[in-house]
């Protein structure tokens, strides 16, 4: 942050200044919710094509897969029954917590929290 404030890296500092001034200019005309939503959409619009491009390049450079019967694993594949039960309990705990949180947010138990 200090490099941006003291203009030690002028290119990044100028980009940050333009971003902040652009955001403030948009806030004078539009609501904070719409500025935030369009900002998030702009970030997504830039990052999604880059991610898809990387995935396409990785898929094109991929070597042909080896025959599955040719490679034998050195150790047993799978989980013991105790590990399966432990993972199932952990997964059930996470699903219950997520369901409880989503129900509380969507049913507006607390207005500031839902906002």
Higher-pLDDT residue of 80, 110:
80
Residue 33 has pLDDT above 70, yes or no: yes
Instruction: Quickly state the pLDDT bin for 71 (edges 50, 70, 90).
Output: low
The mean pLDDT value for 98-103 works out to 86
Contacts of residue 110, Cβ cutoff 8 Å, sequence gap at least 6? 104
- State the Cα–Cα distance between residues 115 and 106, nearest whole angstrom: 10
Asked if 102 and 114 count as a contact pair (C-beta separation under 8 A), the reply is: no
């Amino acid at each position: 942050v200090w490099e941006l404030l003291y203009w030690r890296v002028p290119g990044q500092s100028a980009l940050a200044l333009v971003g902040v001034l652009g955001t403030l200019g948009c806030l004078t005309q539009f609501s904070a919710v719409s500025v935030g939503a369009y900002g998030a959409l702009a970030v997504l619009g830039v990052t999604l094509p880059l991610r898809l491009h990387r995935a396409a390049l990785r898929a094109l450079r991929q070597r042909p897969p080896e025959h599955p019967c040719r490679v034998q694993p050195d150790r047993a594949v799978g989980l013991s029954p105790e590990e399966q039960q432990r993972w199932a309990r952990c997964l059930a705990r996470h699903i219950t917590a997520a369901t409880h949180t989503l129900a509380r947010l969507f049913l507006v138990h607390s207005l500031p929290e839902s906002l």
